[in-house]
Amino acid sequence: MSRDKAYTWEQRKLKEIGEIQTGNTPPTTDSQNYSEDGMLWVTPTDIEELVITKTAKRISEIGKKKARIASKGSVLVTCIASIGKNTLLSEDAAFNQQINSISPNGEYDSYFLLTQSFKISEKMANSAATATMQIVNKSQFSNLDTILPIYTEQVEIGRLFLYLDNIITLHQRRSSRIIKSSAA
């Protein structure tokens, strides 16, 4: 008995899913590369939420010309030292060299890929575990495998995890408020 194609998951290399980029840092010695109200510039320390909306620094129009930029909906994955800090871009953003981006083509759902990125990070951490400093280069990253269902199923799964993540965040915020008010 064969399974329905709708329930079949297929293995893909990350490079088959979309464009892979490694970030860079426009020279920090040139203050014209950065501005208060420019484009997000993501470093691993900025990654605290599943969907990133703010960063400590921003890239100016001049800095954008020197930066690597990933589009809204791209998944950022840390690949040096702090492997496992991943996020989804809420808008186009630049990012540093400790981070790789996956900008999925139309056949893949961004939020589903974000949920898969944590499994990918486990693989990276295991393969980099023997090194003094954990590092996975762009080529190694591009050749990592993941499994994916058809697009409509990715969307359903992605939305379910988005809903669950939102509920968890809501409860964490409520818990923090209760703790703060009890301490006062």
Residues 81-130 pLDDT 10s = 788 899 999 999 999 999 999 999 989 999 999 999 999 988 888 776 66
In this prediction, residue 1 carries a pLDDT of 41
Residues 31-67 pLDDT 10s = 999 999 999 999 999 999 899 999 999 999 999 999 9
Q: How many CB atoms lie within 10 A of CB 25?
A: 19
Q: Mean pLDDT lowest for which of 70-84, 94-108, 165-179? A: 165-179
Q: Nearest CA to 88 among 118, 110, 108? A: 110
Distance (Å, rounded) from C-alpha 77 to C-alpha 47?
Answer: 10
Distance (Å, rounded) from C-alpha 73 to C-alpha 90?
Answer: 6
Say which residues have a Cβ less than 8 Å from residue 47's Cβ, sequence separation at least 6.
76, 78, 85, 86, 87
Distance (Å, rounded) from C-alpha 69 to C-alpha 94?
Answer: 4
Structure pTM?
A: 0.86
Burial of 145 (0-12, 13-18, 19+ CB in 10 A): exposed
